[in-house]
Amino acid sequence: MAPSASTGQKVNLKGYKTLPHAIQLVTMMSGTSSASTLTIGDQNKKFKVSRALTWMVVICIPATFIAVTAGSAYRMYNKPIWAAGFPSRLPVVLMLGAYLAVVNLALGYLTLYLPQAPFAVWKALDDVGLRLIGLAVILISGPVLLSAQAWLHIIWACLLGVLIAAILAFCVCLARTYSK
């Protein structure tokens, strides 16, 4: 056990050598050492994050993503210019909201139920899963929606489904590794 670079506290990761390769890769790429790291619970204590506020964020933000995209899909479906022969646009809009909601739910799950997980994992999911890939998904979904190619809509919706499955698989891996 070595002191953490940010808090000076000693934190022992639960069996680092037996961690799945994906989690080892995330902690290695984040620049933390293998022997010590800041946990999500330590980060929450450091910034005095309350569980009630976390619950409000976990409930409200994903629901907002779902509501906005569902409202957009409803509006697109009822407008003759958008719905004329292209109902394949609707899954693209709905899967976009679902991806953003699932990433936010995963971050909330890590915060609420896995406080002993490394904070580097939470930070990587936030930076890569939400900010980088989320922004790319939003920017690419615009031109895909504007195209009149049904095959492109279907492929993009399937790709978003694969991204959602990857986030869920990563959360299951973390839950199996760090649950009590």
pLDDT digits (tens, 9 = 90+) for 149-175: 889 999 999 999 999 999 999 999 999
Whether residue 19 contacts residue 13, with contact meaning beta carbons closer than 8 Å, is answered with yes
Which residues lie closer than 8 Å to 89 by C-beta, 6 or more apart?
A: 76, 82, 145, 153
pLDDT of 130 above 60: yes
Q: How far apart are CA 27 and CA 9, in angstroms?
A: 18
Average pLDDT, the chain: 84
pLDDT of 13 above 70: no
Whether this prediction's pTM lies above 0.75 is answered by yes
60's tokens = 């409200």
Phi and psi, residue 83, nearest 5°:
-90, -5
